[in-house]
Amino acid sequence: MSQWYPKKGRVIFHIDMNCFYASVEMAYDPTLKGKPLAIAGNPEERKGIIVTSSYEARAKGVKTTMTLWQARKLCPSLIVMRPNFERYRTASKEMFKILAEITPFVQPVSIDEGYMDITESGHLGNPLEIAENLQTKIKNELDLPCSIGIAPNKFLAKMASDMKKPLGITVLRKRDLPQKLWPLPVGDMYGIGEKTANKLNTIEVNTIGDLANGDVYQLKRVLGINGERLKNRANGIDPRQVDPEAVHEFKSIGSSQTLPLDTTDENEIRNLMGQLADSVERRMKRKRAAGRGVQIMIRYHDRKTITRSKKLQSYIENKEDILYISNELFHKHWNMEPIRLLGITVQDVEVKENIAQQLDLFTYEKEAEKEKLYTAIDELTSKYGKNPFMQLKDEDKANQPRTSFQKDFLDDYKK
């Protein structure tokens, strides 16, 4: 057992749920199993984009970010469903609960993946036994497949989990790098996108092995300080710890949504801005946070995207303040061309416990009076859903999932 649990090193798992959204839908409706299934945003209203797809669909060439018409051309029998984010959140919460039964050192990084440090879990068996039991339990209890990477650090565990899908378990040690990792194209390395890969190709760094053995000064000249970091990762060096509290480290909270049709209709834009500000406010309150900056994003009909922001002198958290600044930025920077997508983000976010408000006596009395009302509203909202004092004419539309999926729910499994 000691060979598996070194005295100085760590044993890290990376759990990666396979085709998560599609798998959840199949678990919910078993008649979908074995069929080509795709989850796509707004398929009825716009040429939707594939969010994820089943392995049966992928075998036909269907890929994430592909347009729906392209996917249907490749796979005429494709079943297309809208995303059901509440269903995916519930499945994610249950999955992370299972991970937390093994060790408290669990770090969620997205709805369908996370890290575990099992170094202190030797009493449960060797890492392979723990991984096999974990994979089986998630499959049996949630009917969801996952792949698990086992390694001495987070980077190698992440790379390992990608090596065998679905339902794979892969061990990647530093001594395995020359055979298992280095022959791969540099673009296959986690943390390297297409642009970075192209830059590396220009200096004859074509494989991960080339990067591992590359000249650090040349890499830094091309990629800046990131060049040295990537070289270290390619050599299996990653000192980052599995941090269960990392999920609370957020600097911004935002929401964005694609419009059904490109529009210049100011009423439609105004309504969507209100919905986005409302969504951001709910997330801010949920995290008991406030922010000192607002950013808007406008994506035009030709996919040209701009972001504009404003720094504030004081923290804000309420919809009215968020919307006021957002509208101000929007009207200042909109070029009157048709809009495809809008987004609002509150930046420089801080948990309110950490914000030292300088209040005079009069301000304090006003805030104290309002706090009772806010508390009552929040309690009723938690019990009944939406704020019972607000009459929303189009509640169903307001509750539609946004284009960007936030991470501010990832600690729900602890509740």
- Residue corresponding to tokens 């996370």: 114
Task: Give me the helix-helix angle, 20-28 and 85-100, nearest 10°.
Answer: 100
The answer to whether residues 123 and 7 touch, using CB atoms and an 8 Å cutoff, is: no
**For residue 166, cis peptide bond before it (omega within 30 degrees of 0):** yes
408 is in an annotated binding site: no
16 is in an annotated binding site: yes
The answer to whether residues 157 and 14 touch, using CB atoms and an 8 Å cutoff, is: yes
* Residues labelled catalytic: 113
d(C-alpha 150, C-alpha 131), whole Å: 8
Token readout for 371 is 């706090």
Token readout for 308 is 């504009």
Cα-Cα-Cα-Cα torsion 322, 325, 326, 331, nearest 10 degrees, comes to 160
Separation of CA 5 from chain center: 31
Instruction: Select from 174, 93, 168, 156 the least CA-distant residue to 132.
Output: 168
- Residue 120 φ/ψ, nearest 5 degrees: -95, 15
Collapse the DSSP code of 91 into the 3-class scheme (helix H, G, I; strand E, B; otherwise coil) and give the result: helix
- Residue corresponding to tokens 């642009």: 195
Q: Per the annotation, where are the binding residues? A: 16, 112
Binding site as annotated, residues for Mg(2+): 16, 112
